[in-house]
Amino acid sequence: MALEVSVVSPARPLYEGKAEFVAAPALGGEVGIYPRHAELVSAMGIGLLRIQRGPKDFDKFAVRKGFLEVSGDHVTVLVGDAATAEEVDETAVQAELKQAIAALASPKSEAHFQELLDERAWCQARLKLIREPDLGF
């Protein structure tokens, strides 16, 4: 038995197909989904979305915000922003991260502080995507 997975960002569809397992960064922490998972709707956080198609066959995306729904064996992930490893410019992301960390020293407001934390997490997720070995989960 397999999951039917659909991952979509505002820019484009990212993945459509079957999977054995999905790991997603929900707001409360990472959630793992196997076939016959309980029904679930969750807000997404910032981190890595991993889709395992086979024992050593998987896709990874850095994702930022959105929603996850599990209904039967269907998993739908709507993300606000996503990146594949091929799309990540390590030098540019490192510069963004350095800027976000520097700005955290003197945020203009509580909302600005949260935006900076989110930006730092988004940079870290993209760097982890390209630096994490392709060994699966």
* 3-85 to CATH, choices 3.40.30.10, 3.90.960.10, 2.40.50.140, 2.60.15.10: 2.60.15.10
Kindly give, in sequence order, each residue whose CB lies less than 8 Å from that of residue 72, ignoring residues fewer than 6 positions away.
Answer: 39
CA distances from 20 to 52, 53, 59 (A): 6, 5, 12
Residues 54-110 pLDDT 10s: 988 999 999 999 999 999 999 999 999 999 999 999 999 999 999 999 999 999 999
Residues 110-125 pLDDT 10s: 999 999 999 999 999 9
Task: Please tell me the pTM assigned to this model.
Answer: 0.91
Per-residue model confidence (pLDDT) at position 71: 96
Q: Measure CA of the first residue to CA of the last residue in the chain; give whole Å.
A: 20
The span from the CA of 132 to the CA of 126, in Å, is 10
| Whether residue 135 has pLDDT greater than 70 | no
Centroid of chain to Cα 93: 16
Higher pLDDT, 1 or 70: 70
The span from the CA of 83 to the CA of 86, in Å, is 8
Per-residue model confidence (pLDDT) at position 134: 63
